Amino acid sequence: MIELVIGDITQEEVDAIVNAANSTLLGGGGVDGAIHRAGGPSILAECRDLGGCPTGEVKATGAGRLSAKHVLHAVGPVWRGGDAGEPEQLASCHTRAIELAASLGDRTVAFPAISTGAYGYPLELAAPVAIRATQDAMRVHPDVELARFVFRDEATLAPYRAALGS
């Protein structure tokens, strides 16, 4: 099942929260900053040992003070016009996050709108890529029973609803 909600992803009661990180995994602004602030310093301490993460890949840490068990740090692509592998990399973030959740025994996963903030990926183009990749990965990993996409506002949610409906 895929759900779309408006809220603050740091407040989600799920097994795994996906972070929209950068390849250093050493924190930043946006949802990354919010997750590190709410989860506390243990997440960054674990990230320091991971040696960064390539674009399109995902690495797991504990979730500190968050109610989740894990944070799955996904590195989305910076938008460069769409011909530099961005759709494949964005899809890979979702595929790899579901695979990693399954391997960790996490059954419920919350996603932010990866790459659509600071990284500039147009929402209308990101939404179908994110939804399709997540649906496909959940078919392969049925133990992951819920992916909940959490948005800050209705304008961000709307293209994902359209993608889910089509």
Residues that bind ligand AR6 (CB under 6 A): 8-10, 20-22, 28-32, 34, 76, 112-119, 150, 152, 156
Minimum CB–partner distance for residue 116 and ligand AR6 (Å): 5
**Phi first, then psi: what are they for 38, rounded to 5°?**
-75, -35
Minimum CB–partner distance for residue 142 and ligand AR6 (Å): 26
What residue spans of the chain are helical by DSSP H? 30-39, 41-48, 86-104, 123-140, 154-165
Task: Compute the distance between CA of residue 68 and CA of residue 49 in angstroms, rounded to an integer.
Answer: 20
Q: Which is nearer to ligand AR6, 32 or 46 (CB)?
A: 32
Catalytic residue IDs: 32
Minimum CB–partner distance for residue 25 and ligand AR6 (Å): 9
CA torsion through residues 96, 97, 99, 104, sign: positive
Q: H helices then E strands: how many in the chain?
A: 5, 6
Minimum CB–partner distance for residue 139 and ligand AR6 (Å): 25
Neighbours of 2 (CB within 10 A): 16
Q: Which is nearer to ligand AR6, 107 or 152 (CB)?
A: 152
Q: Which is nearer to ligand AR6, 2 or 118 (CB)?
A: 118
Q: Which is nearer to ligand AR6, 102 or 157 (CB)?
A: 157
Sort 76 into a burial class: Cβ within 10 Å, 0-12 / 13-18 / 19+: buried
